[in-house]
Amino acid sequence: MTKLSVNINKIATLRNSRGGNTPNVVRFAEDVQRFGAEGVTIHPRPDERHITYQDIYDLKPVVYTEYNIEGNPIKKFMDIVLEIKPTQVTLVPDAEDAITSNAGWDTIKHKDFLIDIIKEFQAKGIRTSIFVDPDLRQIEGAKATGTDRIELYTESFAHEYSLGNESAILPYSKCAELANSIGLGVNAGHDLSLDNIKFFKDNIPGLLEVSIGHALISESLYLGIENVVQMYLHKLS
């Protein structure tokens, strides 16, 4: 079964554009879970341009499904995540000035760093996942870090698929097969959408979770959030 985790960064972006508390990210997290989402994802960034550090605390008591916090493990991020103890932390090597996440970890180069950080989270009972490109060497490198899961960075699949290039799924399928065979759980995310999610899921063995934000919120403008969550659940079933 593949769980749908809704990334609510974009709700915070909209709220922050005016100050105040509309739309309310806590209420939104409650609602997407009521509509069937099996997780809530946030990706706080150091400039707090969407999710704020305060949001991380405010969401904790209302997320009764899987709480997934993504980000670069700088000190402030680590301290809050270790205190909050979400279900899962997803480590992403994004630069402070990146518009959005744009690369996976080099799990070979950063092996020792990742081993230490992952141990710290796991010692607090937090499941770990690391964001990786669909490259077999990086999957083997991920295994050596001790992480529980990987999150496959799906931007290149989403882009190529939108151009009609279905073979772009192949490196992802191979990486998922390898991950399954060496005991790494497989998550995926970035630019997944109603257009590509079924094809992606059908070709990725053992896909445990997808986190989806940008497209899902955009689709909701036309179709409504309850409807859109149901549509994703249907395509993932």
Residues of the binding site for 1-deoxy-D-xylulose 5-phosphate: 45, 50, 100
Q: Which residue in the list 38, 66, 190, 219 is annotated as catalytic? A: 190
Specify the residue, 7 or 128, whose C-beta has the smaller distance to ligand LD2JLWAY.
7
Least distance between ligand LD2JLWAY and beta carbon 58 (Å): 19
Cα-Cα-Cα-Cα dihedral of 226, 231, 232, 237, to 10°? 120
Q: Is 110 a catalytic residue?
A: no
Nearer to ligand DXP by Cβ, of 100 and 173: the residue is: 100
Report the C-alpha gap between 215 and 82 in whole angstroms: 30
Residue 149 or 190 having the CB closest to ligand DXP? 190
Return the closest-CA partner of residue 126 out of 85, 182, 186, 80: 85
Residue 21 CB burial class (10 angstroms; 0-12, 13-18, ≥19): exposed
Q: Which of 221, 235, 157 is nearest to 189 (CA)?
A: 157
Fill in the per-residue mask, 153 to 192: x = in contact with ligand LD2JLWAY (CB under 6 A), - = not in contact: ------------------------------------xxxx
Annotated binding site for 3-amino-2-oxopropyl phosphate: 7, 18, 191, 213-214
Q: Which does 142 bind (CB under 5 to 8 A by kind): ligand DXP, ligand LD2JLWAY, none?
A: none
Select from ligand DXP, ligand LD2JLWAY, none the partner in contact with residue 212, using the beta carbon and a kind-dependent cut-off of 5 to 8 Å. Answer: ligand LD2JLWAY
What phi and psi values does residue 72 have, to the nearest 5 degrees?
Answer: -80, 130
Residue 155 annotated among the catalytic residues of the structure: no
Residue with smaller CB distance to ligand DXP, 52 or 100: 100
Q: Is 30 a catalytic residue?
A: no
Inter-CA distances, 69 with 10, 57, 190, Å: 15, 11, 15
Residues that bind ligand DXP (CB under 6 A): 7, 9, 43, 45, 70, 92, 100-101, 131, 189-190, 213
In 3D, which of 101, 192, 189, 113 has the Cα closest to residue 147?
113
Cβ 92 to ligand LD2JLWAY shortest distance, Å: 8
What are the residue ranges of helices labelled H in 107-224? 111-123, 136-145, 155-162, 170-181, 197-203, 214-223
Three-state SS at 166: helix
Catalytic residues: 43, 70, 190
Q: Given the rule CB under 6 A, which residues bind ligand LD2JLWAY?
A: 7, 41, 43, 70, 151, 189-192, 211-215
